[in-house]
Amino acid sequence: MTQTLITAMTEALEKEAQNNDLAMGTSTNIFTIFIELSQNMMNYAKAKEQDETNAQSQGLIVVGKDSERYFIHSQNIVTKADKDKIAPLLKQIQTMSREEIKKAYRKLRKSGKNTHAKGGGIGFYEVAKRSSSIDYEFTPINSEKYYFHFIATVQTNKTKRRAP
């Protein structure tokens, strides 16, 4: 993460907000999710060996939208050990209500547990509480490495207002 990247992302969200009546809360959620997924990528990303002398680190984050929602999609390579740590946490978060996610997040923040450890996992609660939904997938590369795909969806405020 560089200052240039952060500035560019902020400016892009501000422009999107002006051009499409994007509420500041929605743009803040998108930006926060982008930052959290970037931090997760830095903590968990591993290299994919191209051959015995070359290793290629692969990761990407894409922010896109359709008429009703924004999608923040990240992809990077993780080890089996990281997969075994991340998957149960994400599975648990997916079963929780928004209020349960917020409560668990506050509890973890107050306790200090998982907040400062590299790859502690509290960031996934932050992403989930700012998203309307999250989804993930691990695709095997070999017996020790996986592609980790993560998608956070953020509903637009227009959509939220129309919902019953």
Task: Tally the domains of the chain.
Answer: 1
146-162 pLDDT, tens digit per residue, is 999 999 999 876 544 33
Whole-angstrom distance, CA of residue 156 vs CA of residue 84: 33
66-75 pLDDT, tens digit per residue, is 888 999 999 9
Instruction: Confirm if 96 and 104 have CB atoms less than 8 A apart.
Output: yes
The CATH number linked to 106 is 3.30.565
pTM: 0.78
Tokens of 1: 């993460």
At residue 35, the pLDDT reads 85
90-138 pLDDT, tens digit per residue, is 999 999 999 999 999 999 888 766 554 555 578 999 999 999 999 999 9
Domain that holds residue 40: 3-162
Whole-angstrom distance, CA of residue 156 vs CA of residue 104: 25
